[in-house]
Structures are given as C-alpha cells and as structure tokens.
Amino acid sequence: MNIRKSKIITIAIVLLTFVVSACLYPQMPEKMATHWNARGAVDGYMSKSLAVFLMPVIIAVIAALFIFIPKIDPLKVNFERFRKYYDGFVILFCAFMLCLQYFMLLWNIGIRISLNILLPVSLGLLFFYIGILCKHAKRNWFVGIRTPWTLTSETVWNKTHKIGGKLFKVAGVIIVVGSLFPGYLLCFILIPVFLIAVFTLIYSYLEYQKENP
C-alpha cells in the first residue's frame, strides 16, 4: 500500500468517527457510560457533550501525529524501508480506536456488546500486527523497541526486533485467549507486556555487550 492510499484511509477513519458520532448524538443519554471495569460492568460516566466527541478528537490527534512522525525522524531514510508496515499499523490502530468508540456509542443506545470479547480480540490482533511491524522495522527514533543499545547498534536493533516481533505475536495470541477468562483479562494483557519490556531491555543490553566487550 502506498503512502497516499494509507493517508486517505486514515483520514477516512477519522472522518467516519466524527460523522457517526454526530449522527448518534441526539440518541445519547445526557449521562453516558464511558468506562468499564475488568468484569465488564460500567464504573465511569461523562456528559454526552464531552463523551461523544472526546474519542474522535483523540483519534484525530493521534492520526496526525502518526502521519507527521516519519517526516521528522532523523533516520527517515530507514523509515521508508518499512513504511508499508508502519502505514498498516497506523490504519489498524485507528480502526481499533474506532471500534472502541462504536462500542461506547452502541452501549449507550442499548445495544450491548461484551467488552470482554471485543477488547481482547481487537487488542490481540493489534499486538500480533505489532509483531509483524517489529520484524520489519529498521532503526529509527520513534517506532520499535528503543533502548540505548538498539539505538546505538544496527546489529543489536535487528536481533532485538527479530525476537521481539515473535514475542509480540505470542502476546497477541495470549491476549485473545484472555477473552475466555474475563475475570483475569488485565493479567492476560499486562503480564505479557511487562515481560516483553523487561526481556527486550535485558536482551538488547546483553547483545550490545557481546558486540562491545
């Protein structure tokens, strides 16, 4: 997918979020459910004037930031080497945020979808794709597993992202499996993320030490 098409799709997702939110605005209750606990029960509310358009604004800001990042990265030449995978991530992330917005809107008009199914499945797919992105990511300052040692050494970067990509894919599968255990869903999300962060930090340091004894 070329850059122009990816930008069009991203902008279309942002516009779709605003359009659907505006269309459903009259149907929203004055006090909207906006947060759910680990059991899928509502435990947070906002006024509809804020709740309906907060997520679209957040998506728009994030999308703009994602589009802008490749232009300012000092290693933008490297960025272009994995740009199609980066663009795919931007689209998938915006689609993920769009799903969360639609979930909230539908819930507040009485169409109840289980968050304990939607969240782990969509988040698991996102993590799995992050694994694909990591596998192809070249050294840059914004995207990937950025430690002092991966940013310093091309070899350490490549090795860390090769194994990190596999770990993110495994984490994606684990998170999806978490949908079967809604009471422990946060554990299925947070523990893999923590372990990946710790492992890749230590791994990149050890690989750098091998390269620079």
Question: Mean pLDDT for each consecutive 10-residue tract of the chain (213 residues)?
Answer: 76 93 92 84 87 92 93 91 94 94 92 87 96 96 95 96 97 94 89 97 96 83
User: And the tokens for 47?
Assistant: 């006024």
Calpha distance 178→181 (Å, rounded): 5
Flag whether 131 is in a domain.
no
pLDDT, residue 212, reads 84
Flag whether 134 is in a domain.
no
What sections of 178-212 are H helices per DSSP? 185-211
Are 120 and 99 in a shared domain? no
pLDDT, residue 1, reads 47
Are 61 and 51 in a shared domain? yes
Are 119 and 98 in a shared domain? no
Rounded to a whole number, what is the distance in angstroms from the first to the last CA of the chain?
42
Q: Which domain holds residue 178?
A: 115-124+139-213
Are 182 and 78 in a shared domain? no
Are 86 and 119 in a shared domain? no
Per the structure, how many domains does the chain have?
2
For residue 213, give the 3-state DSSP assignment.
coil
Flag whether 133 is in a domain.
no
All residues at 6 or more sequence positions from 150 whose CB lies less than 8 Å from its CB, including other chains: 139, 144, 156, 157, 160, 161, 204
**pTM (2 d.p.):** 0.91
Are 46 and 57 in a shared domain? yes
pLDDT, residue 164, reads 97
